Amino acid sequence: GSGGTDSAGTSGSGDKKIVMGFAQVGAESGWRTANTKSIQESAKEAGIELKFSDAQQKQENQIKAIRSYIQQKVSVIAFSPVVESGWDTILKEAKNAKIPVILTDRAVDSPDKSLYKTFLGSDFVEEGKKAGQWLVDQYKDSKDPVNIVQLEGTTGSAPANDRKAGFEQVVTDPKFKVIASQTGDFTRAKGKEVMEAFLKANPKIDVLYAHNDDMALGAIEAIEGAGKVPGKDIKIISVDAVHDGMQALADGKINYIVECSPLLGPQLMDLTKKVLAGEEVPARVVTEETAFTQEQAKQALPERKY
């Protein structure tokens, strides 16, 4: 979008208006929608002018957006990198233009940490471990093989890589067998489509591990369509704890959800002001999160904000 154009001008009071260019991943999930809302609302509250772009899950679009923010000489660039690799060139361009960059939600794999000021977001490995630990506990008394299918997030994204890795670190007993694993791109539609294919190819699926609620919700439709009962015939673990996911958990269709908070806006605005004031900020700010059983979801639902 095109925002105001006089943002680089200084006002009489000497206070320069902060302009943030934010390159969002897309609008692929309930999580993302809540995240966008959090960023837009908290920018407004903090008196920060926001230039916002939606990359529709394409790295090239994000790079274009960032390059345009550099040309517009924004005060700060924040973005949630759709995938982990391939950012060095554009981040160097920002650095050369002396525009600070803040990573939110997702990490980049660049070894040069001077390319961004800080990284605010969840510990996705920890989330994968929590998902795996629930599974291990659930089946601790069983010796039978447990057939697991996995719906992965966007290929190459930090949450997909890390949630898979964290899960594998904990789910080590050979009785657990991941019999199929494929990306559902963090969307409901893809989650449904891939789960339909999993169901056709595999007569015995005990557990679905979905890297987010939206894919789990799509998969629930596929499972019901195949005449099976989600949460019973096939146990479901997912990540996020957005409203629709929590509702499905409370209704018994999902068995366990690891929380991933999208409400990063207030902390992002706070870090932005500190960075621009030349204050020290921690290199990594980790979001605080929990996890929910079906009973806990019933209790938490009335007060959930998203």
**Contacts to ligand AHR by CB under 6 A:** 28-29, 31-32, 105-106, 159, 186, 212, 214, 239-240, 260
Nearer to ligand AHR (CB atom), residue 54 or residue 214: 214
Residue closer to ligand AHR (CB basis): 99 or 151: 151
| Kind plus residue range of the DSSP H or E element containing 274 | helix 265-276
∠ Cα 41 214 284 (to 5°): 55
248 versus 260: smaller Cβ distance to ligand AHR: 260
Task: Compare residues 106 and 146 and give the one whose CB is closer to ligand AHR.
Answer: 106
207: Cβ contacts below 8 Å, ≥ 6 apart: 135, 146, 147, 148, 149, 234, 235, 236, 237
Least separation in angstroms between CB 226 and ligand AHR: 24
How is residue 109 written in tokens? 């794999």
- The CB density around residue 14, as the number of other CB atoms within 10 Å, is 6
Q: Tell me how far, at minimum, the Cβ of 187 lies from ligand AHR, in Å.
A: 8
Beta strand extents in 27-167 (DSSP E only): 49-54, 76-79, 101-104, 118-121, 146-152
Smallest distance, ligand AHR to C-beta of residue 255, A: 18
Q: Is 285 exposed, middle or buried (0-12, 13-18, 19+ CB in 10 A)?
A: middle
- Least Å distance, CB 214 to ligand AHR, is 6
Start-end of H helices in 73-212: 88-96, 124-138, 158-170, 188-201
Shortest Å, Cβ 13 to ligand AHR: 38
Amino acid of residue 256 = Y
Query: Residue 19 or 260: which CB sits closer to ligand AHR?
Result: 260
Burial of 198 (0-12, 13-18, 19+ CB in 10 A): buried
Shortest separation between residue 6's beta carbon and ligand AHR, angstroms: 34
146 vs 210 by CB, closer to ligand AHR = 210
CB of 270 to ligand AHR, least distance (A): 20
Q: Return d(Cα 90, Cα 66) in angstroms, integer.
A: 8
Angle at 275 between CA 102 and CA 43, to 5 degrees: 65
CA distance 230 to 81: 33
Q: Which is nearer to ligand AHR, 20 or 215 (CB)?
A: 215
